[in-house]
């Protein structure tokens, strides 16, 4: 009678991680040298690319404002494989993070944004421009996490069509921001930053004693030109 051996017990794979050098892409509008009045760091949303995103800030490119748009480190195809087969130039987007290796991805993009900010300011030696940080959609959580650990000091923080990460202690976070003016922006018909979501964010900030301004505009989940120009004029007047 044949004797059958039992299957060996399954093994568990061991996860490892190493740090590697990445090439990160970013785009600018305005003067990268000299003495600009302001620097705007603008972080795009999920599935967007920085080159297209920064074009939406062209209306406030007045020659005295440097606008820097970093691109998230993880790019992917937006369309399915069958759809891409019939396309000459498949659409590509980028994401700041996913739930997979979440903490590593956050640490990577925080280090990336820090390096980019310091590199940008290095070329402006002697200048003291105001710093405006804008996060749109997924980019709102990105800039919130970045400024919660960075030594970069923003004069204005704009959270547009997105939410503050739930894990942040808002009182401690606001102290870290060192008095930055916080503005929540959302379209009245934004399907993501709905009135209920915006009200929840406002209540959360208020309960933590964090001062902020709320700006609503007629429109959806997008960078609205009129709202952008209003904010830019307001910040320039400070």
- In this predicted structure, which of 9-13, 90-94, 142-146, 182-186 has the lowest mean pLDDT? 9-13
**What pairing do the DSSP bridges indicate for beta strands 65-70 and 156-160?**
unpaired
Give the predicted TM-score (pTM) of the model. Answer: 0.91
Q: Write the pLDDT tens digit of every residue in 76-111.
A: 899 888 777 777 788 899 999 999 999 999 999 999
Q: How many helices (H) and strands (E) does the chain have?
A: 7, 9
Structural domains in the chain, sorted by start? 26-236 (3.40.50.1820)
Confirm if 133 and 126 have CB atoms less than 8 A apart.
no
Burial of 33 (0-12, 13-18, 19+ CB in 10 A): exposed
Quick check: 40 pLDDT over 70?
A: yes
Reading the block at residue 41, the tokens are: 């760091």
C-alpha distances (whole Å) from 221 to each of 1, 96, 106, 163, 216 are 71, 18, 24, 13, 12
pLDDT mean over 150-174? 95
Closest residue by Cα to residue 161 from 180, 181, 189, 133: 189
145 alpha-carbon distance from chain centroid: 9
Give, in degrees to the nearest 5, the angle at Cα 217 between 215 and 219.
145
pLDDT mean over 202-224? 96
């Amino acid at each position: 009678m044949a004797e059958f051996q039992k299957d060996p017990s399954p093994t568990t794979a061991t996860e490892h991680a190493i740090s590697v050098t990445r090439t990160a892409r970013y785009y600018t509008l305005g003067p990268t040298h000299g003495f600009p009045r302001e620097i705007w760091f603008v972080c795009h949303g999920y599935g967007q690319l920085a080159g297209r995103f920064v074009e939406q800030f062209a209306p406030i490119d007045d020659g005295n404002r440097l606008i820097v748009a970093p691109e998230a480190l993880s790019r992917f195809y937006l369309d399915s494989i069958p759809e891409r087969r019939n396309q000459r130039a498949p659409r590509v987007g980028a994401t700041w993070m996913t739930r997979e290796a979440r903490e590593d991805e956050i640490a990577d993009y925080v280090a990336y944004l820090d390096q980019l900010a310091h590199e940008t300011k290095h070329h402006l030696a002697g200048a003291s421009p105001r710093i405006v940080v804008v996060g749109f959609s997924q980019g709102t959580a990105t800039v919130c996490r970045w400024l919660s650990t960075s030594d970069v000091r923003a004069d204005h923080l704009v959270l547009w069509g997105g939410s503050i990460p739930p894990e942040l202690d808002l009182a401690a976070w606001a102290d870290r921001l060192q008095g930055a003016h916080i503005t929540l922006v959302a379209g009245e018909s934004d399907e993501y930053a709905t009135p209920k979501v915006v009200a929840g964010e406002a209540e959360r900030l208020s309960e933590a004693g964090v001062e902020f301004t709320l700006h609503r505009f007629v429109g959806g989940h997008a960078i609205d030109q009129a709202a952008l120009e209003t904010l830019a004029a307001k910040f320039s007047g400070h």
